[in-house]
């Protein structure tokens, strides 16, 4: 029987590439996202709504009697320091980036405990380093890294592995949204900013969503059966500087 996988935020960027990778690996893949997609089994779900995630995950688990793979990918960026971060901005970011992951994992675990499984949280290089104007986003990604470590320890006895991938600057719709937002506020030229971002990377280019998806595909596979509780960096060498 095919492995049952759930990916949040699977309609764009890294999520979409991950859905495609898991489908290619023979998985039955559900994509929880508010944006429609023809890749995988789309389930309309606001991942920032804890109850909506719980209902979607429970429905999938009961339908198949198993959940084998979770990829917590849904999230958004926020460019602001602590003074410019309102409580509403903070709460909305954490509802999606962190609470969505919490609800996904919590309600999938009863089904995963039956046969074991693999969990990957899409964190960021910002789970390891600080960046300017990134107070709440950085904090949310560090939280995902913590979830990966604690979940790995709590559920190792059930043969459930949990890891976090920490991508650097990956060219995705989220990346372009962040750059566009910055250029709108600052008046900077997008082409120049993009070139500057590439120059910051030791490999002199941005990462691709498919590269992160391939890494995730490896982490949830049996080839990674002894990897758990880890933060896996895929950043073109940025954090090694």
Angstrom distance (rounded) from CA 35 to CA 125: 26
Judge whether 229 and 162 are in contact, CB under 8 Å: yes
Judge whether 227 and 160 are in contact, CB under 8 Å: no
DSSP 188-218: --HHHHHHHHHHHSTTSS-B-HHHHHHHHHH
Structure tokens at 10: 């699977």
3-state secondary structure of 241: coil
3-state secondary structure of 150: helix
Taking each helix axis from N to C terminus, what angle separates 100-115 and 135-155, rounded to the nearest 10 degrees?
20
Judge whether 167 and 237 are in contact, CB under 8 Å: no
Judge whether 148 and 130 are in contact, CB under 8 Å: no
**In 10 A of CB 64, how many CB atoms?**
16
The residues that are catalytic are: 137
Angstrom distance (rounded) from CA 127 to CA 137: 10
Angstrom distance (rounded) from CA 15 to CA 7: 7
């Amino acid at each position: 029987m095919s492995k049952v996988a759930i990916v949040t935020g699977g309609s764009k960027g890294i999520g979409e590439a991950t859905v495609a990778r898991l489908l290619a690996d023979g998985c039955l893949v559900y994509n929880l996202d508010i944006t429609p997609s023809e890749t995988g089994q789309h389930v309309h779900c606001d991942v920032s709504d804890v109850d909506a995630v719980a209902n979607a995950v429970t429905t999938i688990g009961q339908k198949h009697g198993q959940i084998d793979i979770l990829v917590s990918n849904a999230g958004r960026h926020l460019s602001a320091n602590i003074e410019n971060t309102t409580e509403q901005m903070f709460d909305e970011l954490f509802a999606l980036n962190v609470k969505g992951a919490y609800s996904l994992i919590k309600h999938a675990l009863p089904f995963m405990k039956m046969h074991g499984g693999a969990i990957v949280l899409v964190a960021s290089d910002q789970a390891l380093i600080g960046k300017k104007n990134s107070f709440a986003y950085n904090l949310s990604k560090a939280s995902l890294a913590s979830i990966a470590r604690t979940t790995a320890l709590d559920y190792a006895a059930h043969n459930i592995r949990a890891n976090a991938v920490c991508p650097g600057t990956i060219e995705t719709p989220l990346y372009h949204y962040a750059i566009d937002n910055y250029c709108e506020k600052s008046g900077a030229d997008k082409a120049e900013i993009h070139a500057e971002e590439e120059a910051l990377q030791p490999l002199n280019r941005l990462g691709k969503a498919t590269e992160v998806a391939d890494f995730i595909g490896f982490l949830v596979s049996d080839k990674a059966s002894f990897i758990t509780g880890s933060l896996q960096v895929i950043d073109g060498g940025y954090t090694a500087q």
